[in-house]
Structure 1
Amino acid sequence: MAHIQFNLNFDELKEKILTSNLDDILKSTMVLVLNEYMKQEQTDYLNAQSYERSSDRRDYRNGYYERELLMSIGNVPLRVPRTHSGEFHTSALKKYERSDQSFLLALVEMVVNGVSTRKVTNVVNKLCGENVSKSFVSSLTKKLDPVVEEWANRSLSEIYYPYVFVDAMYVKVREYNRVVSKAIYIATAIDDNGKRHVLGFDVDHEESYEAWKDFLHRLKQRGLQAPRLVISDAHSGLKKAIQRVFVGTAWQRCTVHFKRNVIDKMPKKGIQEVKNDFKRIYNGSSTQEARNIKNEFIEKYKDQPKLEKAIHTLEEGFEDTIQYLVEPLNIINLYALPTS
């Protein structure tokens, strides 16, 4: 298997991942990394391994005390090691305060890509800003791998997700000593309480019907029940895969992608009023209201040749983009802002 290294664009992934429910896995990996790092700091300070007899020993271990660290994703419980003399003080907590965001993003990248010694080295370096021993990285990798693996393959059957978003983005990957483009598939969802969840990730060479079908099948095999609505862009292979895997599930074309497609067909200058009128279409509170505003827009601008392509695109794809308006009012805003 090729050794793959990702350079993820976290600006693009931010809404898909950091605003979704990755808290559990990120907290688990944070706790493991910080606790192991503090234990290693203590060992370096003592100049002796656990139960090691050494004339160079500086002090002795004296258990742990519990400490909660306030992070950007909430409070994280840590076990801070102590020594008999009380002179040992960990630097990990102060270092974390200086590297909160970069440390978090390094952890996210590791969760997305899978655990590797390179990823773990990156995570630890983001925390402490210095190189650490290969043996420590190797030990930490062995402990992190099952944690991330368990999360990636966890059951999805315990919660019903009525609304599922699927999307792909392309990232640059180093493979066989060359940089190539790969598609990273992302599935997120909203539960009945309006809470966002990350369901899974996958990587392939490109978007295709077979690749999307396999990705959706794996989610189904993990227990994902057929949602009421799947939101995605209009990729033909993806649409076909959704219909094949989730029979009876309605499909909603992503409004973000669609609005971008329509606006791209408009002239680049002097059309702010046109854009404002177009965006009003999706402020409707019902399918009929949205249709009425859309018809008013077309009537107003139908005689402008420069808008002919934009109007054609709007008419062709409009109905697929307003499926969310038949859903309960309290989740309309969630549909109007899909994770793309």
Structure 2
Amino acid sequence: MTQLNLNLNLEEIEAAILGSDMDNIIKSSVILMLNQYMEHERDAYLQAEAYERNDTRVTQRNGYYERDYTLAIGKISLKVPRTRDGKFSTTLFERHQRMDKAFIQSMMEMVVQGVSTRRVTKIVEELIGETVSASFISTLTKRLDPLIKEWASRKLDHCHFAFLYVDAMYIKVRENRKIVSKAVYIAAGLRADGKTEIIGFKVASVESYTAWKGFFQELLERGLNKPELVISDAHVGLKKAISECFLGTGWQRCLFHFTRNIFTKLPKKDTRAFRRKVAAIFREDTLKDAKLKYQALQDEYSEVDKYEKAMDVLEQGFDEVTQYYQFKPAIHRFIRTTNRVENINQQIRRREKVIRIFPNHDSATRLIGAVLMDIDDEIKKKSPMFSYKNVYVEE
């Protein structure tokens, strides 16, 4: 490797120290070193130092041109050497490209983590002393698009997903000069090794049977296996899409959403005992014991008028919400609710609150996709929650 000996002009540095503030001292020193580096490169290309005459000399020096260059310390002006043949090119800017990329990546990361575009521009200005526009930051984040597209369309046949959690959340997006609601479909799989993986997402105009079916078909085309159980809420279109796309797969109605639906039918006062007894049904280890407590609840409350509506909801959904009893008690808490994907939704919501309204459909897909990639990396690092072996209850 060629050694570079920097012959710095100490008088220039001394003048900078005595007559400037610290920022200018740093910039002046960097300019001197980088200019000297390029001068050394030109000498190596020419195979001759200044005013040196020899038989190996390639061509002649041809002065300099000035070029502004932005680093983390701010914008600096450099003197780039030229040669008479026009073939010399410094490697300096290429060598510093990695640092530029790291700086750009930091700005992109701030946006993904929920820092507003306006705040990012202020941070950048404080760091490098240069003004950047909000549109520049937005353009910068578009570099995420290929990465998100590749991640969102990756193959899913690398492992067996025993359980599938699906849910939709709603966001606000500007479209055709109006602010509209859009649904964000998210699917997470619980793998046979006990780890969770985010396997798909989609920003759609509505939550409907057609949209859900299209979403599931995309997952299947990417290689998703038939799961043992799909866990979701009771959206009509979603239920229909699950039954058609996952033939032979069980459907578990989310216990949390279900009990909330029951409790909304109760009077506001004096229902604490009833609520406790409903919750106790679903804490049993076996379906047989759960049915015994359910029957006891019916015997006590079915003839009481103020509990009639709540009991009707419980009766109509009991079979749908107790599918998890096919599996051993050790994994019940992992598969009876959509909490796994709900937690993911909450993390998206924290970032989304900063933006409030996405400027367009693409920006929503970009930010949500980047956040999901980040979350996916984190949850994969966590220890497995259980072993999939022999999870079914023996008959």
TM-score (ref. length: structure 1): 0.65
Could you say what secondary structure the match of 1:145 adopts?
Answer: helix
Deviations 1:291-323 (A, max 9, x none): 111111222212210000100110111111111
Partners in 2 of 1:298 and 1:245 — Cα distance?
A: 35
Structure 1 partner of 2:71: 42
Residue 210 of structure 1 aligns with an amino acid whose one-letter code is T
Is the counterpart of residue 209 in structure 1 residue 209 in structure 2? yes
Could you say what secondary structure the match of 2:308 adopts?
Answer: helix
Could you say what secondary structure the match of 1:279 adopts?
Answer: helix
Report matched runs for 1:77-226 at 5 Å.
105-106=113-114, 121=117, 124-125=120-121, 128=124, 132-133=132-133, 137=137, 140-226=140-226
- Aligned 8 A contact 1:106 1:123 in 2: no
Shift of 1:126: 9.0
Percent identity of equivalent pairs:
38
Structure 1 partner of 2:233: 233
- Aligned 8 A contact 1:209 1:240 in 2: yes
Structure 1 partner of 2:266: 266
Question: How has the CA–CA distance of structure 1 residues 129 and 215 changed in structure 2, closer, same or farther, with 3 Å as cutoff?
Answer: farther
Structure 2 partner of 1:312: 312
Residue 306 of structure 2 aligns with an amino acid whose one-letter code is K
Partners in 2 of 1:179 and 1:138 — Cα distance?
A: 19
Residue 188 of structure 1 aligns with an amino acid whose one-letter code is A
- Aligned 8 A contact 2:167 2:187 in 1: yes
Question: How has the CA–CA distance of structure 1 residues 125 and 335 changed in structure 2, closer, same or farther, with 3 Å as cutoff?
Answer: farther
Partners in 1 of 2:206 and 2:305 — Cα distance?
A: 36
Could you say what secondary structure the match of 1:289 adopts?
Answer: helix
Could you say what secondary structure the match of 2:186 adopts?
Answer: strand
Partners in 1 of 2:216 and 2:297 — Cα distance?
A: 37
Partners in 1 of 2:77 and 2:136 — Cα distance?
A: 15
Partners in 2 of 1:306 and 1:223 — Cα distance?
A: 50
Partners in 2 of 1:41 and 1:291 — Cα distance?
A: 70
Partners in 1 of 2:269 and 2:327 — Cα distance?
A: 36
Tell me, which stretches of 5 or more residues in structure 1 are unaligned? 1-39, 55-59, 65-78, 82-89, 108-118
Residue 251 of structure 1 aligns with an amino acid whose one-letter code is W
Tell me, which stretches of 5 or more residues in structure 2 are unaligned? 1-68, 83-91, 343-395
Question: How has the CA–CA distance of structure 1 residues 80 and 288 changed in structure 2, closer, same or farther, with 3 Å as cutoff?
Answer: farther
Deviations 1:63-109 (A, max 9, x none): 68xxxxxxxxxxxxxx768xxxxxxxx8x98x99xxx9x755439xx
Shift of 1:62: 11
- Aligned 8 A contact 1:103 1:127 in 2: no
Structure 1 partner of 2:290: 290
- Aligned 8 A contact 2:321 2:336 in 1: no
Partners in 2 of 1:253 and 1:190 — Cα distance?
A: 16
Shift of 1:216: 0.4
Question: How has the CA–CA distance of structure 1 residues 138 and 180 changed in structure 2, closer, same or farther, with 3 Å as cutoff?
Answer: closer
- Aligned 8 A contact 2:231 2:337 in 1: no
Partners in 1 of 2:233 and 2:272 — Cα distance?
A: 25
Partners in 2 of 1:308 and 1:129 — Cα distance?
A: 63
TM-score (ref. length: structure 2): 0.57
Residue 288 of structure 1 aligns with an amino acid whose one-letter code is K
Deviations 1:11-50 (A, max 9, x none): xxxxxxxxxxxxxxxxxxxxxxxxxxxxx9626635258x
Question: How has the CA–CA distance of structure 1 residues 44 and 145 changed in structure 2, closer, same or farther, with 3 Å as cutoff?
Answer: farther
Question: How has the CA–CA distance of structure 1 residues 227 and 144 changed in structure 2, closer, same or farther, with 3 Å as cutoff?
Answer: same
Larger Cα Rg: Structure 1 or Structure 2? 2
Partners in 2 of 1:266 and 1:129 — Cα distance?
A: 56
Question: How has the CA–CA distance of structure 1 residues 145 and 282 changed in structure 2, closer, same or farther, with 3 Å as cutoff?
Answer: same
- Aligned 8 A contact 2:162 2:190 in 1: yes
Could you say what secondary structure the match of 1:225 adopts?
Answer: coil
